[in-house]
Structure 1
Amino acid sequence: MDVQLLAALVLGVAAVVAIIVWSRLDAFVGLLVGALVTGVVAGVPVTDLIGHITSGFGDTLAGIGIVIALGVMIGKVLEESGGADALARMFVRAFGKGREDVAMTATGSVVSVPVFCDSGFVILHPLARSLARRYGKPLVGVSIALAGGLAVTHHLVPPTPGPLAAVGLLGADLGTVILAGLIMAVLLVPVVIAYARIMGPRLEPHLDPDLLPEFAAAGGSGGSGASAPASGGSAGGAAHGGKEGSGASAAAEGTDKPRVNPALAALPLLLPLLLIVGNTVTGAAAEGTRLAEVFSFIGEPAIALLIGLVIAVYLLPRLNTGRKTVVGWLTSAAASAGMIVFITGAGGAFGEVLRQSGVGDALAEEVSTWAVPLFLMPFLIATFVRIAQGSGTVAIITAATLSAPLVQSGGVDPTLAVLAACAGSFVFSYVSDSFFWVVTRFTGLSGGAAMKMWTGATTTLWLASIPLLGIAALILG
């Protein structure tokens, strides 16, 4: 590989990581600076470099920005209307007594498709505490099951922001990625349950009375943990820009959430997914037919999610919910989605500079001589970025950005590359990840026990995903 292009890549990536980890700036600025550093060192004329950055940013958001915003809005309506809580209770009834951990994992897996992990855990953890108290289950085990279910689909299944951004950056088909991500998530769910059942009883004696005094006073039988949200909200909020404040309130209210029919709560989630997958299936099996034409419109991701949002807004809130209230939910969701949209666009800008400068092609040519299979490159990049800065979403976007030239030049299936980037982002959630604090503090663990609970769980999922990626590589080629 040409020394100048190698230096451009190394310095560009180093700039991104340094800014994210050590400066007061965030991933959006880091990716833009990385693009500038890469272009300048590679010798791209300044006027062309600015053009590459703006076109890469715009082209990426043209395909994925609307979808991210709509997905976050659906999640906010589910959260505020009580729909997420209704889905949780439905799964508990469906799986029955003795399978509370399975019910919580299934609930988390479904709820996390449109709802951020942090919010989903805060909303559903009062139910987890209630199950632990009522059925004498280890609170730690039920909490691991819930958090693991949330993490699995959050990292693997669009329209969660990371996988959705990777689809756009790598040029994959969204319907195919949804199907493949769902299959991989289902195969990882037993790993979550097994880890919860093994580690839950072992970590239960380590519950911190300062974090969960009511639980400790109840002798480990699962007190309501009213003070846990206060502690967890503080820690999580500090790590995540105060985002958990509303979630802590929701957790404190618990059963005060309005009751929603679970079938209605599931509709805004399932219908868009079915329409998107239907577009993929009819496009392949019934190309040129009237049915395929209909699905090509209603199954377009932006249209499908818009339909889901309309259903959520008009079916889930109580009849007396005012317009101002619902608009406030959507405004809040738009604010949450904004930074993810910006980071995704900046990732597209960085990727365009890598392509236009020749760094991407040179890297692809060099890596093709390595003993490591090309499909594992997004996995390894996501792993390193996740450990360096903590955010799984940023790790996925960065891995997709840097590996896009490899996918195009090396003939790697885009769906496989998306799965690899997403799977690599599981690894080693610890103190730099806000979800680590939400999970461990709401559960009532600190120190080494907290690391064993959540860092161990995410790293186990990372390890379990490696053979699944190998199988996917055999199938997808």
Structure 2
Amino acid sequence: MDLQLIVALVAGIATIVVIVLATRLDAFIALLLASVVTGIVAGQDLLSIVDSITTGFGDTLASIGIVIGLGVGIGKILEVSGAADSLARAFLSAFGKGREPWAMGTVGSLVSIPVFCDSGYVIMNPLARSIARVKRGGYVTLALALGCGMTLTHHMVPPTPGPLAATGILGADIGSVILAGVVFTICLLPVVVIYARWIGPKLEPVLNAAVKHDVYGSVTTASADVHSTSGSVDTLTGDASTADQSSATDNSPADAAGVAAGNDGSTSAKKPGAFLGFLPLVVPLLLIVANTVSTAIDKNAQGELSGDAYEPSAWVAPLAFLGNPVIALIIGLVLAVYTLLPRVTPRNKVQNWLADGAASAGLILLITGAGGSFGLVLRESGVGDALAEAIASISLPALLVPFLIASLVRLAQGSGTVAMITAASVTAPLVAPLGLSPLVAVMACTAGSMVFSYFNDSYFWVVTRFAGLDGIGAIKGWSGITTAVWICSLPLLFVLDLIV
């Protein structure tokens, strides 16, 4: 491989890591500057670098931007209506007594598809606390199972932004990614529950005294050491104390959502049932999957496996329309607004909630587009082709390339979404030369980005503070469980690579 192109790639990735970790700039600027640095070092013409950046940005958002916006809108309505809480309680009832960790892990994986991990965990954590209070124990196990269940689908199942962005950048079929992500989640959920059940009892004795008091209602001795530890965490994060945070959120999930959204509490009084809560989630997913399956059957029947010259049959066309992610999620959002919210909800309040959801997606859209820019610069500068040739000359399995890149970026800067987008951008030029399936590449990016969540990951602080874990206990509990699912995803990737 040309030394200049190697230096260009290393310089681009290093630019992302250094800017995110050591400056006041965010990942959006980091990816754009990385595109410029990579193009210049690789010897690309200056004006063509700008053209690659704008073209890559536009092409990526054209395929995925609308979907992200609609997805966060659905999530916001689930949050403020209390439907997420109804879904959680329905799952607890269905799993039965003694299987609470399975219920919490499943609830987490379901809720995290439309709702961001951080806010989803805040909404659902009071449910874990109420269960532990009734059982008089097992809170750490439930808190870890809930948090990591959310991690699985947040990283692997569209329409969450990370896998959506990777799907768009790598050109994979979104329906296939949804199916693969659901299968991976089902296979990895036992790992979550087993690890949580193993480590939970070991960490229960070191549970933060303030959180233990909030959860179990018992009087705990507030030692100086405990308060000193929690204080150090607060200094690092710049937030309120753990005790205050825990007390403030130990309300009903719907109330917490109402406060977060500026709700007056009117919607929390009449929460929708679990069936209605399922509709905005299940209907779009079923439509997208139906489109994928029917198209595959139709292509096989026509013998058009390449897809370029494919014309859908008459019976497939309606499913192709309704199963297009944009149309499917429009349907989901309409269902959410008109089935989950009371008719008396003021129009301007609903519009404000949707605006809040759109605002939360703004930076993710920019980062996703910038990831597309970085990927196109890598392709047009020749770095991608050179890297493909280098990898082809060694015995490293192709699927490990996106997996390891995502893992390294995640460890370096903490964000799973940035890790997925960066790995997808670097991998995009390699997919065709290496004969790597876009689906496998997407799943490798998403799986690799789950590794060892620790201090530079905002979700680390959300889970460990609400779970009452400090110091080594936080590393053993949360960093350990995320690394366990990361390791166990590797065999699944190799099986998927053999199948497709």
Q: TM-score with structure 2 length normalisation?
A: 0.89
What displacement does 1:16 show?
Answer: 1.1
Residues 160-207 of structure 1: per-residue CA shift (max 9 Å, x gap): 111010000001000011111110110000000101111111100011
Q: Relative to 1, partners in 2 of residues 1:102 and 1:268: Cα closer, same or farther, differing over 3 Å?
A: same
Does the CA-based 8 Å contact 1:155-1:162 persist in structure 2?
yes
- Matched residue SS, 1:252: coil
Residue equivalent to 2:77: 77
Structure 2 Cα separation of the partners of residues 312 and 49 of structure 1 = 42
2:18 maps to 1:12: no
What displacement does 1:408 show?
Answer: 2.3
Structure 1 Cα separation of the partners of residues 118 and 165 of structure 2 = 19
1:354 aligned partner, one-letter code: L
Residue equivalent to 2:318: 294
Structure 2 Cα separation of the partners of residues 401 and 455 of structure 1 = 26
Residues 252-295 of structure 1: per-residue CA shift (max 9 Å, x gap): 34464342111110100001001111111111113533231001
Residue equivalent to 2:132: 132
1:48 aligned partner, one-letter code: S
2:125 aligned partner, one-letter code: H
What displacement does 1:235 show?
Answer: 8.0
Residue equivalent to 2:352: 328
Residue equivalent to 2:331: 307
What displacement does 1:135 show?
Answer: 2.4
Residue equivalent to 2:297: 285
Structure 2 Cα separation of the partners of residues 406 and 458 of structure 1 = 28
> Which residue among 391, 394, 414 is the counterpart of 1:370?
394
Structure 2 Cα separation of the partners of residues 305 and 53 of structure 1 = 28
> Which residue among 426, 444, 455 is the counterpart of 2:468?
444
1:374 aligned partner, one-letter code: A
What displacement does 1:319 show?
Answer: 2.4
Instruction: Please show how residues 22-37 of structure 1 align to structure 2 within 5 Å.
Output: 22-37=22-37
Q: Relative to 1, partners in 2 of residues 1:217 and 1:275: Cα closer, same or farther, differing over 3 Å?
A: closer
- Corresponding pairs, count: 464
Residue equivalent to 2:189: 189
Structure 2 Cα separation of the partners of residues 246 and 312 of structure 1 = 29
Structure 1 Cα separation of the partners of residues 464 and 84 of structure 2 = 21
2:265 maps to 1:266: no
Residue equivalent to 2:119: 119
Q: Relative to 1, partners in 2 of residues 1:262 and 1:232: Cα closer, same or farther, differing over 3 Å?
A: farther
- Matched residue SS, 1:260: coil
Q: Relative to 1, partners in 2 of residues 1:283 and 1:293: Cα closer, same or farther, differing over 3 Å?
A: same
Residue equivalent to 1:423: 447
> Which residue among 336, 341, 363 is the counterpart of 1:317?
341
1:263 aligned partner, one-letter code: F
Does the CA-based 8 Å contact 1:232-1:442 persist in structure 2?
no
Structure 1 Cα separation of the partners of residues 125 and 450 of structure 2 = 21
1:261 aligned partner, one-letter code: G
What displacement does 1:248 show?
Answer: 8.7
Residue equivalent to 1:155: 155
Residue equivalent to 2:259: none
Instruction: Please show how residues 54-93 of structure 1 align to structure 2 within 5 Å.
Output: 54-93=54-93
Does the CA-based 8 Å contact 1:105-1:146 persist in structure 2?
yes
Q: TM-score with structure 1 length normalisation?
A: 0.93
Instruction: Please show how residues 377-416 of structure 1 align to structure 2 within 5 Å.
Output: 377-416=401-440
Structure 2 Cα separation of the partners of residues 302 and 449 of structure 1 = 43
- Matched residue SS, 2:469: coil
1:252 aligned partner, one-letter code: N
Does the CA-based 8 Å contact 2:133-2:216 persist in structure 1?
no
Structure 2 Cα separation of the partners of residues 350 and 131 of structure 1 = 46
Q: Relative to 1, partners in 2 of residues 1:46 and 1:255: Cα closer, same or farther, differing over 3 Å?
A: closer
Structure 1 Cα separation of the partners of residues 433 and 215 of structure 2 = 56
- Matched residue SS, 1:290: coil
Does the CA-based 8 Å contact 2:212-2:218 persist in structure 1?
no
Q: Relative to 1, partners in 2 of residues 1:247 and 1:362: Cα closer, same or farther, differing over 3 Å?
A: farther
1:451 aligned partner, one-letter code: I
Residue equivalent to 1:225: none
What displacement does 1:216 show?
Answer: 6.3
Q: Relative to 1, partners in 2 of residues 1:343 and 1:238: Cα closer, same or farther, differing over 3 Å?
A: farther
Q: Which runs of 5+ in 1 are unaligned?
A: 221-229
Residue equivalent to 1:346: 370
Residue equivalent to 2:260: none
Structure 1 Cα separation of the partners of residues 390 and 460 of structure 2 = 37
Structure 2 Cα separation of the partners of residues 448 and 246 of structure 1 = 21
Residues 289-308 of structure 1: per-residue CA shift (max 9 Å, x gap): 32310011111101100110
Residues 24-62 of structure 1: per-residue CA shift (max 9 Å, x gap): 111100000000001111111111111111000000000
Structure 1 Cα separation of the partners of residues 365 and 490 of structure 2 = 29
Which deviates more, 73-82 or 368-377?
368-377
- Matched residue SS, 1:24: coil
2:68 aligned partner, one-letter code: I
Residue equivalent to 1:472: 496
**What is the aligned-residue identity percentage?**
53
